[in-house]
Amino acid sequence: MNRFFFIVCTVCIFSQKINGANYYWVGGSGDWNDLNHWATTSGGTILHGQIPTALDDVFFDANSFTNPAQTVTVNVTEALCNNMDWTGVTNNPEFYGTVLNKLKIYGSLTLAPVMKLNFYGLVSFEATSTGKTITSLGQIFQHSSIAFNGVGGGWTLIDSLSLTAFGGISLNNGALNTNNKKVTANSFSSTTATSRSLTMGSSIFNLLNGFNVSSTGMTVNAGTSTINLTDPN
């Protein structure tokens, strides 16, 4: 009886790990690795026993922040998640990290209009399957660069993707579809020798310092897109 119970519990735990779990931020301001902020349900009091992994979906919603301008601080070298979703968040929270921090997203990203994206580190999309999306909802990546690194990954922009003059976009692996949306950044580069593709449609690329693409392993479907290089030099 006890042995059977142990086997069943082990299988359940292993299955949950394979499938990932939902992580809901609670309690306002805090550090990414503080388990007091990761609940199993929206606004819940039952907490997870470890911080999110690459398998887990993380949510920031109406029950996450109790006062205006509270901050989620990425205080680990690499913050991992599958999907990151800020839908329904209130109180204009800040998502903060330094250049020493990296955010690795293995699924899709959905931001929110009422938040402050103040992350200085690299945002790396690591999916190894297609069907992933990026929804910015007016947010600008103020200080960070973006890299698409997942072998076999596929990402589609749902709306405009905007970085400031500090941030570049690198397509190192996989397939990026800008889906007729506007892309603004310091630069766009794809110079690895791996299999990758860029589908632009009627997108407008506003780039400060250049569009640098190597033909090795690369397919570009330019469509009717436009590339504007805005640096007067």
92-104 pLDDT per residue, tens: 999 999 999 999 9
CA distance 99 to 147: 14
Confidence bin at 142 (pLDDT 50/70/90):
confident
The H or E element that residue 2 is part of is helix 2-19
Q: 168 with 190: CB under 8 angstroms?
A: no
Task: Tell me the one-letter amino acid at 36.
Answer: N
Can you give the pTM of this predicted structure? 0.91
Mean pLDDT of 107-111: 98
CA distance 94 to 209: 29
pLDDT averaged over every residue in the chain:
93
Q: 196 with 174: CB under 8 angstroms?
A: yes
Task: Tell me the one-letter amino acid at 58.
Answer: V
Q: What is the pLDDT of residues 7-21, one digit of tens each?
A: 344 444 444 457 899
Q: 93 with 117: CB under 8 angstroms?
A: no
